[in-house]
Amino acid sequence: MTLELSRSLLYLDDITVSFDGFKALNALSLLIEPGEMRAIIGPNGAGKTTMMDVITGKTRPDEGSAMFAGRHDLTSMDEARIANLGIGRKFQKPTVFESHTVWDNLLLALKDSRGVFGTLFSSTSASQKEAIEELLETVHLTDASMAMAANLSHGQKQWLEIGMLLAQDPQLLLVDEPVAGMTDAETAQTAQLLRKINETRSVVVVEHDMTFVRDLDVKVTVLHEGSVLADGSLDHISSNERVIEVYLGR
Amino acid sequence: MIFHRLKHISWDLALGVYVTLLVLAIAVPFFNLVVPEGSAFHLSTYMVTLLGKYMCYALLALALDLVWGYCGILSLGHGAFFALGGYAMGMYLMRMIGPRGVYGDPVLPDFMVFLNWKELPWYWLGFDIFPFAMLMVVLVPGILAFAFGYLAFRSRVTGVYFSIITQALTFALLLAFFRNDMGFGGNNGLTDFKDILGFDIQSDATRSGLFIVTIAALAAGFAICRAIVGSKLGKVLLAVRDAESRTRFLGYRTDRYKLFVWVVSACLAGVAGALYVPQVGIINPSEFAPANSIEAVVWVAVGGRGTLAGAILGGVLVNIFKTWFTGALPEFWLFALGALFVLVTLLLPRGIIGTALHYREKHLEKKASEDNAFDEIAPEQPHDEAQEELERAGA
Amino acid sequence: MKPMRATIRSVLTAIALCLALATPLHTSAAQETVPDGPTTAPTSAAETHDLAGLVSRLPKASYNEKSELAGAIAETGNPRVELILSSFSAGRLQATKEGRVVIALKDDGPYEDALTGDKLGMMEGIRLKKVRVNNRLRGELHGLVARLALSSPDASIRRHAARETFDAADPDSLPSIEKALSRETESDIAETLRQARAAIILKNGVVDEEGQLAAIETLRDRGDLEALNALLGLDKSDNLVLRESAASAVRSIKRTLEYWDVAQNVYYGLSLGSVLLLAAIGLAITFGVMGVINMAHGEMIMLGAYTTYVVQQVLLAVAPSLMSVSLIISIPAAFIVAGGAGILIERTIIRFLYGRPLETLLATWGLSLILQQAVRTIFGPTNKPVVAPDWMSGAFQLGQLTITSSRIWIIVFSMIVLAVLMAFLKYTHFGTQTRAVTQNRKMAASMGVRTNLVDALTFGLGSGVAGIAGVALSQIDNVSPNLGQSYIIDSFMVVVFGGVGNLWGTLVGAMTLGVANKLLEPFAGAVVGKIVVLIFIILFIQRRPRGLFALKGRFVDA
């Protein structure tokens, strides 16, 4: 146990969350290693989003512990603190700051002082500009850098949001359905992008799109009714009878 | 919600505000004091006071725009901060009356003598010292705003919930200040002021002086708000307004940002109230009435929220309209005000300045796209044009 | 409403004071001008048992003689005695110049003969002179009448009389009390009589210590303010045992009274709570269910109240016989008027602002200004009188509680409105559609629900219920253009406090705030009490931003 904990980047143990008696998460345990990429699948209501909420501090679990990098107790921190620890989150529905330009979106996300007076008197340094240019490159938005985020296409918004996550320089990225509503070409590009990101950081991807999950080619965890039903490679999972019963077969 | 973009526009708009204020600060005292009374160009002292009042309203509107326009916090209780600043100033002015009151008590204001009080309550101490009183003008609203905002933002009270409790706040203060034993003159409030810093408060010169100070405060308030809005902090505020939870997941303590502008805004409102009181000559609990606070919101809406200059314009314009209307058709004023609320929200959600900016921007976009169409080998495109091109493609 | 009632109360007090001051002055003046000369030789009244003789001597007798005569009259046992004496004490016993004694049945006639009961009509053109009474005599007469009534065959008259004897605590009535006690069959009347006897015993110390101690016991059990007053008289008693026993009884009664006091305040609180509930319940639909911030909600209440006024005016002109049910007619009328106004508002303004709550707030605020001014222009700025039907006025006593009928009706009415509304939302097709639309608009629309129509009707329903609230509030508040304003903040507080989207929450919220307000009032004062409650709500919302009965779940924050 302790060995597991010290080895892990993210360590969820026995997490339970209930809303008015309904258990959204039921003794969920999950372990993500540094540098790992994990795909999480599960039918609607399996608890995927709630799990993300617990990790990012939006929801407090009724029971269980959530540790980051073996020593940070996530259950006692708020969203901002957790974000500053190095956990980035991408929402299911792309959320970017629509009345800011792409550039400003990235500037706001860039790792920097988050204090009120720090931001009041801050100015953008040359190295920050460089970092932003680099990020724009990574997410294919260089040409759109001065566009208002509101005017981006759906796919571009998804990328911008991923770019913002990268700007935070997190150790762990939580990505909720990144390819929903994307074209096939965009989906492939996104898979590529995530793999590239995974070279330096751990990634947890929640996704419905099986082609995409297959594309990623990583370990898959199946959630069902708030706890882990099975995990392993996609092929392994696909042959698991219970998984077929609750999810694939239906 | 895309009210802010094109920085070059906001700069010449700001310049316009500064120039207008400068012109007013010179012209109004000139036409009042220098141009002789018989002349057709003479400006009456009544008008000077009236204009000064409008400037105070403009500053209140500015304060409101900072929180509403840029941070999405709709306060229905800013009148409370305005009135608290006003009371702080009123207390100084009361102490300055000295033995000239009706009862001739050297220390106690008339209403305390009337209530048979023997000594000054502790919270009146120090208000005979001008700098102290001025400190309180900023501190009292600031501290109340801090306490209130700290609780509200920390527990994530947002949107209409926040609006409604701000309304409850000002309503509670209204009830409290109506009470005689609060020690603020109850129903009648504070009035019968004699002089300020030794100058006769009724004299033309003092009135013009107060006007200039008000203009200066408005200009300073405008500059402060612009500095805040233009900084990276301003960008965070907009981010909070548009997607607070996203901002939080980026690692910003959004409650602290909101608290910061909320307190700054309350202090500005306090200053506005403090300048208002010596000009109108009275402060009483009715300034706390929730209706006043909501009326201030419509000033901002009319001028255009999230534009700062719009708030100033709205504050002045609506009040000119009000002065004229209540004079000409008093019984229809509420119809007009009510219609203003409805029509602005339905037909002019960007407000005057916001709409003007919007069309100007559209125009520039169109021009840019036409230019591009003729000039296919675009030379090094500045960012703006790149963006417009993208919009065209995206749309 | 409060200032109004306070004014009435102070006016009444003033009138009462003037009367109290004027009466002795008046009588003493009368004594000077009409000296009770020795013209009538003082005859022992007891000697004559002839009613006619006794009565005929009344007009010219001195106060002392009148007192004796009255006692003698009472003892004749004649069936007219009670009417004569009670008329006497009310100042309605009058005499003609010729010495004929008549009774005014109302202040200005008609009259009847005191002795025979012959109807005499209005007696116009005949000068009548009142047989004067002073306060002392009036008290004695009360006692006499009460003693007579103690032997009435009608139990309710006896009950009333027993209470009167208690209040008068006249030692002269002791024998008749004993007599009445011996044959009284109703236990509660007997109890009151025993208490009356106890009060008399304590007041006049007519029996030994043991009897007095027993009397203290009896009064302690009675446990109300009158008992307390009777016992307080023993404070200065020389008898130590008696004094201590009385003191302990006083303590006990005071404690009981405190409980009653709290109970009374809780009742006032529930009453205020039901007013708040009525005011907030429409808002619970428009704000709670639809999420629309309707600042003109108070004006919907006001429209309901004005509808009540108009309905009454129309009935008065067309069918005065229906006045007693005017409120019942007003309920559907107010629902239609306010509901119609609501639908109109939704179609012309609010539907363009869905999803923009702050803009909705501003637009509807503007609307509220327009509605207020419109009503002021049409009906004028002054309060409009709305008549309460007989069955809604009056008050009764429950233990030590004073319960006014109108308040009880409002409590009952608010519960009925809540129950009907809940049933409506739960069991009707329309209710299902409303909930469907508010939970998932797109899904409802794709399942064939006409969301536009449902929006309009739901808003109309909320406004209509506000109109109904206006009917009830017209009974306890001034019907003026500002009526709505005084409820809007309270209503929002109730809905927010109770938890948005939950009618049970609204009920609990309203009652909690109402009771809290009234329990705070006695020691904080009305204004401070209100401020404390407001601050409490502000703090409460900080702790639980979604109210008492918050919907929990993962969709809440979305």
Q: What would the pLDDT profile of C6-15 be if each residue is shown by its tens digit?
A: 445 554 444 4
Residues of B in contact with C537 (CB under 8 A): 165, 168
At residue C292 the predicted structure's pLDDT band, cuts being 50, 70 and 90, is confident
Q: Read off φ and ψ for residue C180, nearest 5 degrees.
A: -65, -40
In chain B, pLDDT over 90 holds for what percent of residues? 69
CB spacing of B163 vs C358 below 8 angstroms? yes
CB A94 within 8 A of CB A83: no
C552 touches chain A (CB under 8 A): yes
**Together in a domain, C421 and C500:** yes
Q: Which residues 6+ apart lie within 8 Å of A15 measured at CB? A: A25, A27, A28, A29, A51, A54, A61, A63, A64, A65, A66
Best of B3, B7, B250 to disrupt the A interface by mutation (most A CBs within 10 Å)? B250
The pLDDT of residue C557: 37
Residue range C262-289: mean pLDDT, rounded: 88
- DSSP H helices in chain B: 7-29, 45-71, 78-97, 110-114, 130-154, 159-178, 204-230, 232-249, 254-280, 290-303, 309-328, 333-347, 351-374, 383-394
In chain C, pLDDT over 90 holds for what percent of residues? 19
Evaluate whether residue B345 is within a structural domain. no
**Together in a domain, C161 and C277:** no
Which of the listed residues B270, B290, B310 is the one where a domain comes to its end?
Answer: B290
Residues of A in contact with B249 (CB under 8 A): 56, 79, 83, 88-89
At residue C530 the predicted structure's pLDDT band, cuts being 50, 70 and 90, is confident
Residue B8 has pLDDT above 60, yes or no: no
Output C435 or B257, whichever has higher pLDDT: B257
Residues of A in contact with B394 (CB under 8 A): 147, 151-153
Cα(B165)–Cα(C534) distance, rounded to whole angstroms? 9
CATH code of the domain containing C489? 1.10.3470
**Together in a domain, C161 and C144:** no
Residue C32 has pLDDT above 50, yes or no: no
C557 touches chain A (CB under 8 A): yes
At residue C38 the predicted structure's pLDDT band, cuts being 50, 70 and 90, is very low
Chain B nearest-CA residue for A169: B250
Q: Which residues 6+ apart lie within 8 Å of B125 measured at CB? A: none
Evaluate whether residue C108 is within a structural domain. yes
Output B131 or B102, whichever has higher pLDDT: B131
CB spacing of C553 vs A58 below 8 angstroms? no
Evaluate whether residue B330 is within a structural domain. no
Residue C236 has pLDDT above 80, yes or no: no
Average pLDDT, chain A: 86
Chain B nearest-CA residue for C374: B335
Where in the sequence is the domain holding C405, given as residue range(s)?
Answer: 263-522
Evaluate whether residue B325 is within a structural domain. no
What is each CA distance from C124 to B142, C91, C172, in whole angstroms?
79, 19, 40
At residue B140 the predicted structure's pLDDT band, cuts being 50, 70 and 90, is very high
Which of the listed residues B290, B312, B347 is the one where a domain comes to its end?
Answer: B290
Output C382 or C219, whichever has higher pLDDT: C382
Chain A nearest-CA residue for B258: A116
Neighbours of chain C (3+ CB pairs under 8 A): A, B
Which of the listed residues B241, B262, B290 is the one where a domain comes to its end?
Answer: B290
CB C537 within 8 A of CB C493: yes
The pLDDT of residue B303: 93
Q: Which two tokens stand for residue C240?
A: 């130590």
Q: What is the 8-class DSSP label of residue A228?
A: E
**Together in a domain, C371 and C280:** yes
Q: Of C457, C459, C470, which Cα lies nearest the Cα of C413? A: C470
At residue B371 the predicted structure's pLDDT band, cuts being 50, 70 and 90, is low
At residue C152 the predicted structure's pLDDT band, cuts being 50, 70 and 90, is confident
Cα(A139)–Cα(A160) distance, rounded to whole angstroms? 7
How many CB pairs below 8 Å do chains B and C form together? 116
Q: Which two tokens stand for residue B319?
A: 């009040």
CB B229 within 8 A of CB B70: yes
Evaluate whether residue C547 is within a structural domain. no
Cα(A108)–Cα(C539) distance, rounded to whole angstroms? 33
Angle CA C368–C371–C372, to nearest 5: 85
Chain C nearest-CA residue for A49: C554
Evaluate whether residue B329 is within a structural domain. no
Evaluate whether residue B42 is within a structural domain. yes
Helix (H, G, I), strand (E, B) or coil at B190: strand
How close does chain C come to B175, measured CA to CA in Å? 7
What are A193-235's pLDDT values in tens digits? 888 889 889 999 998 788 888 888 889 998 888 888 888 888 8
B376 touches chain C (CB under 8 A): no
Q: What part of A 44-63 touches C (C-beta under 8 Å)?
A: 49-50, 53, 58-59
Where in the sequence is the domain holding B381, given as residue range(s)?
Answer: 356-395
Looking at residue B43, its amino acid is L
Residue range C254-274: mean pLDDT, rounded: 88
At residue C551 the predicted structure's pLDDT band, cuts being 50, 70 and 90, is low
Chain A nearest-CA residue for C556: A19
Per residue, the 3-state secondary structure of A157-200, as one string, reads: HHHHHHHHHHHCCCCEEEEECCCCCCCHHHHHHHHHHHHHHHCC
Evaluate whether residue C169 is within a structural domain. yes
Evaluate whether residue C254 is within a structural domain. no
The pLDDT of residue C85: 82
**Together in a domain, C350 and C488:** yes
**Together in a domain, C98 and C65:** yes
Q: Which two tokens stand for residue A132?
A: 């932003």
The pLDDT of residue B9: 57
**Together in a domain, C228 and C307:** no
**Together in a domain, B68 and B174:** yes
**Together in a domain, C362 and C420:** yes
How many CB pairs below 8 Å do chains A and B form together? 119
Evaluate whether residue B191 is within a structural domain. yes
Chain C nearest-CA residue for B179: C527
Best of B390, B391, B392 to disrupt the A interface by mutation (most A CBs within 10 Å)? B390
The structural domains of chain A, ordered by start, are 2-96+167-249 (3.40.50.300)
Q: Of C144, C92, C140, C135, which Cα lies nearest the Cα of C114? A: C92
Looking at residue C167, its amino acid is D
Residue A172 has pLDDT above 90, yes or no: yes
Of the listed ranges C118-127, C247-256, C542-551, the one predicted with least confidence: C542-551
At residue C554 the predicted structure's pLDDT band, cuts being 50, 70 and 90, is very low
The pLDDT of residue B270: 97
**Together in a domain, C131 and C181:** no
Q: Of C229, C228, C224, C168, which Cα lies nearest the Cα of C193? A: C168
At residue B382 the predicted structure's pLDDT band, cuts being 50, 70 and 90, is very low
Cα(C57)–Cα(C44) distance, rounded to whole angstroms? 12
Q: Is C479 exposed, middle or buried (0-12, 13-18, 19+ CB in 10 A)?
A: buried
Q: Which two tokens stand for residue C220?
A: 């302690």
Evaluate whether residue B344 is within a structural domain. no
Evaluate whether residue C9 is within a structural domain. no
Q: Read off φ and ψ for residue B199, nearest 5 degrees.
A: -90, 140
Neighbours of chain A (3+ CB pairs under 8 A): B, C
**Together in a domain, C195 and C160:** yes
**Together in a domain, C319 and C461:** yes
The pLDDT of residue B3: 37
How close does chain B come to A132, measured CA to CA in Å? 15
Output B133 or A207, whichever has higher pLDDT: B133
Residue range B243-262: mean pLDDT, rounded: 93
Number of domains in chain C: 3
At residue C206 the predicted structure's pLDDT band, cuts being 50, 70 and 90, is low
Find the CB nearest A147 among B3, B239, B391: B391
Q: Which segment, A172-176, B314-318, C166-170, is predicted with the most confidence on average? A: B314-318
Buried residues in A51-75 as b, exposed as e (16+ CB within 10 A) = bbbbbbbbbebeebbbbbbeeeebb
Residues of A in contact with B246 (CB under 8 A): 91, 95-97
CB spacing of A108 vs B236 below 8 angstroms? yes
The pLDDT of residue C552: 45
Chain A nearest-CA residue for C552: A19
Evaluate whether residue C2 is within a structural domain. no
**Together in a domain, B282 and B374:** no
Chain A nearest-CA residue for C553: A19
Output C52 or B7, whichever has higher pLDDT: C52
How close does chain C come to B126, measured CA to CA in Å? 27
Residue B267 has pLDDT above 90, yes or no: yes
**Together in a domain, C492 and C444:** yes
Evaluate whether residue B141 is within a structural domain. yes
At residue B86 the predicted structure's pLDDT band, cuts being 50, 70 and 90, is very high
Q: Of B312, B306, B245, which Cα lies nearest the Cα of B67? A: B306
CB spacing of A19 vs C557 below 8 angstroms? no
What are B182-216's pLDDT values in tens digits? 899 999 999 999 999 999 999 999 999 999 999 99
Number of domains in chain B: 2
C555 touches chain A (CB under 8 A): no
The pLDDT of residue C550: 60
CB spacing of C369 vs B338 below 8 angstroms? yes
Q: Is the ipTM of this complex over 0.85?
A: yes
CB spacing of B2 vs A150 below 8 angstroms? yes
CB B215 within 8 A of CB B310: no
The pLDDT of residue B387: 43
